[in-house]
Structure 1
């Protein structure tokens, strides 16, 4: 009896086990075409590299917030929580998937098979919840001009998100038919089910993990970009009017009059900041859309779940979902100068290829000036 059957028999009645017998026979009769051994080993090696990068990069984010009290703002606490959930995903889920992918055999027992499903969805849901909170916070600050998120409220939201993620992921370990066979998937997943309750729970996971966060974040970022564009036009028009007024004064020879004030805004900094936000949002969409579609098809479509194509498709979708845990620190290192400097500070001096050269100091503008004009009420960002 396979792990999926053992898991359900331990959690339900003998009648449930009898119902699984035809499915087990069907599963054994299906011709499964595993991926080539070299490709599986290569993907497993890449996953080990992803574990290393994800752990080190996200650990640096947590250390920065932990060691520097000045960095414990509301947004930084959220980013540290996001990094912690990615660390847990890298340590408690990805290594077992890499081993199973390389050996084509789940060797960690039926109990951990079910626990791994819950841990996977727990950490994924927590990471998505934090991204959703960050997007709503940016929307309130930039579009609504309401800066309501304090460190205390951020801690409350973090605790609530962990509790909600645990409640949503718990049913996957209580009474679900899981697929732990290596010929079906490289890790234990939610398998095909005829139960309306199981299918409803799958839809709930898909809505909670992808569809609702994607819709809210897409709306928030579109509104943010629209607000930034309108404010940029206002700033440009204000600067144009100021230059016209200066030229008019100079032509009249009224040098004693006060010149109209000019607005000096670092437009490149604003563009770069929002480009980083959009990259994170695009990364979330690309990494999670395939996995969401495959998860729904696996539970609703018997033909797809028992088809030879299910294994390579599930490997690709699962690999992309794990790539999200590595994506954030890579983007931080690429786009954020302070994060690169922090990485160099944590790196031993013997491992540095080039000495740290002090750069030219430049005073940045106040962040609130990025989003508002001088004639409007300013709010901190």
Structure 2
């Protein structure tokens, strides 16, 4: 429903188009914002592409969690290619020049790739909870592939109704991108609530519960180890069988290796929450609040919220490069020789200089 077609007196004084303020902005400002968005597209595409290439080229890296991280990276790549360029063009021209049909398609693709990225992060969080808190490592690469395929199908089923016209998709100029518009139809509002709950609130609740459970298990284990160290003396430890200790050492090595990825996944969860909480609230207000949807500040609010949502696609590879040593090394190896500042050291020489670079990698101990 357009803001022009209203009989309410409270909305008669509202301007029909919230982009007039943006049209009045200086051209250099629009150019700077467009250039920044293009930089975000480049960083998001290249950084996430490196993740996919690493997992594809190295069989030792095709563990369950790495397949999920590659799926998350691929959804961000598609978001960078299928949605962000059109949003950048609309931010510069303040007009949607790609047709009404493609507007509805771009909105469906936007939610489709967002849902898949959230699903991948949700599966990773639940897997960390089962490994650390429940001591159950059930997610094999084969099961991960089946779950990934099911998540793609489910994400498509949830996002497809917007393409079929179940809810209003507003063609810019009221927003810099095709967004969910205000509607009074119960079916349309129910679909938007389902979409937002599936994209943010339900995954946020499950992931938050998983991380709280992990932190509780870690704290409980720390207290138990401290109590055992106080009650056991050196003689009791010496009487323990060597064979039993070797078995426990291998199990502890596998669990500790996977526990190291918990902090990285927690950072990804925090980034997801900060980037998508405003977008979820914004989407609900757009559909349920006509005053907000028809307000002069709607265009500015839409621009800020959409930019914040797109930052998540750039945020993930930066976290990988910051937190994961193997990812940094793989990035350096993938760089062309002309762009490398230091010469690459052959592997046999690196082993002699630094023997710790020799790793025993199996599918359970190979996280990106």
Q: 1:373: which partner in 2?
A: none
8 A Cα contact 1:147 1:380, kept in partner: no
In the superposition, the TM-score normalised over structure 1's length comes to 0.81
SS at match of 1:162: helix
Q: 1:179: which partner in 2?
A: 170
Higher relative contact order (CA 8 A, sep 6+): 2
Q: 1:145: which partner in 2?
A: 135
- Residues in 2 aligned to 1:207 and 1:274: alpha-carbon distance in whole angstroms: 25
- Give yes or no for the alignment of 1:22 onto 2:5: yes
Q: Which moved more, 1:299-308 or 1:70-79?
A: 70-79
- Residues in 1 aligned to 2:240 and 2:68: alpha-carbon distance in whole angstroms: 44
- Residues in 2 aligned to 1:98 and 1:127: alpha-carbon distance in whole angstroms: 22
Following superposition, the deviation at residue 229 of structure 1 comes to 2.1
CA separation of 1:234 and 1:101: change in aligned 2, threshold 3 A: same
Alignment match of 1:329 (pick from 301, 305, 317): 317
CA separation of 1:118 and 1:106: change in aligned 2, threshold 3 A: same
- Give yes or no for the alignment of 1:245 onto 2:234: yes
CA separation of 1:23 and 1:179: change in aligned 2, threshold 3 A: farther
Following superposition, the deviation at residue 236 of structure 1 comes to 3.9
Following superposition, the deviation at residue 130 of structure 1 comes to 0.7
8 A Cα contact 1:44 1:101, kept in partner: yes
Following superposition, the deviation at residue 238 of structure 1 comes to 4.1
CA separation of 1:142 and 1:240: change in aligned 2, threshold 3 A: same
Alignment match of 1:86 (pick from 73, 76, 79): 76
8 A Cα contact 2:18 2:297, kept in partner: no
CA separation of 1:363 and 1:45: change in aligned 2, threshold 3 A: closer
- Residues in 2 aligned to 1:325 and 1:132: alpha-carbon distance in whole angstroms: 16
- Give yes or no for the alignment of 1:161 onto 2:151: yes
SS at match of 1:186: coil
- Give yes or no for the alignment of 1:52 onto 2:42: yes
- Residues in 2 aligned to 1:297 and 1:361: alpha-carbon distance in whole angstroms: 58
8 A Cα contact 1:135 1:221, kept in partner: yes
Following superposition, the deviation at residue 362 of structure 1 comes to 3.0
SS at match of 1:149: coil
- Residues in 1 aligned to 2:183 and 2:263: alpha-carbon distance in whole angstroms: 42
Q: 1:76: which partner in 2?
A: 66
- Give yes or no for the alignment of 1:230 onto 2:220: yes
8 A Cα contact 1:33 1:309, kept in partner: no
In the superposition, the TM-score normalised over structure 2's length comes to 0.83
- Give yes or no for the alignment of 1:314 onto 2:293: no
Gap runs ≥5 in structure 2:
none
Following superposition, the deviation at residue 297 of structure 1 comes to 0.5
- Residues in 2 aligned to 1:81 and 1:178: alpha-carbon distance in whole angstroms: 27
Alignment match of 1:282 (pick from 267, 270, 275): 270
- Residues in 2 aligned to 1:107 and 1:199: alpha-carbon distance in whole angstroms: 28
Q: Which moved more, 1:347-356 or 1:159-168?
A: 347-356
The structure that has the greater radius of gyration is: 1
Per-residue CA deviation, residues 156-179 of structure 1 (Å, 9 max, x unaligned), is 111111111111101111113221
- Residues in 2 aligned to 1:189 and 1:103: alpha-carbon distance in whole angstroms: 17
Gap runs ≥5 in structure 1:
6-19, 250-256, 368-378
Task: Give the aligned CA root-mean-square deviation in angstroms.
Answer: 3.2
